[in-house]
Amino acid sequence: MQFPAPSKSPALRTEQIILFRVSGQLFAVSSGSVQEVRSVDSLAGSAAEITAPGLKKVRHIVRRSDKSLFVVNGALHFGLPVTPGLLVLVLRRTRTALLIDGIEKMSTMTILQALPQAFCNEERAWYRGLTALDQNVVPVVNPEGFLTSEEIVVLEQSQNSGVSGAKTAGSSIGSVHEPA
């Protein structure tokens, strides 16, 4: 005798996220988008300074086995007051290593609301959307939104123009850079 399988309500799809802070502001990123979390000190040995015209948010590159990662200062990217970064999130399938203040915690989101259409500028590329957590609204960053393809070309050109050989000497990755 066969019994029908008990009906199951469809499981609610969830996504693991990492909540992190940049200049005091809380953001979220999908944990699946983060390849590594490193302290700035641990990256110092493989970092070099870079100066690209019009791109003050990137001051360092980090050499990896097969590619170079561009360290994006999260505070400068979002237009927040610059604070000394302590951690770097290496974002999977991008050329971005994101400099942040620290990680708040890991959490789970079930709903990702698209950014309201009233937001109609660069932030549409910055964020995948917004999520509500513990009566808070947190923007969920788009890992591919930190560097445009044009910016990557500019950075690669700067890297190839001789800057890449210079090891970090005068400043560490997390040091405070005031925009010139």
Binding footprint of another protein on the chain (CB under 8 A): 12-15, 25, 27, 78-80, 109-123, 126, 130, 132, 135-139
Shortest separation between residue 123's beta carbon and another protein, angstroms: 4
Q: Which residues contact 112 (CB under 8 A, 6 or more apart)?
A: 15, 128, 129, 130, 131, 140
Collapsing DSSP to helix, strand or coil, 94 comes out as coil
Q: Which is nearer to another protein, 14 or 31 (CB)?
A: 14
Which amino acid does the sequence have at 142? Answer: N
Q: How far is the CB of 48 from another protein (least distance, A)?
A: 28
Q: Are 91 and 34 in contact (CB under 8 A)?
A: yes
Nearest CB to another protein, comparing residues 116 and 170? 116
Nearer to another protein by C-beta: 84 or 129?
A: 129
φ/ψ region of 24 (left if φ > 0, alpha if ψ in -120 to 50, else beta) reads left
Per the DSSP assignment, residues forming a β-bridge with 55 are none
To another protein, the closest distance from the beta carbon of 104 in angstroms equals: 14
- 28 vs 97 by CB, closer to another protein: 28
Task: Tell me the closest approach of the beta carbon of residue 29 to another protein, in angstroms.
Answer: 14
User: What is the rounded end-to-end Cα distance, in angstroms, of the chain?
Assistant: 78
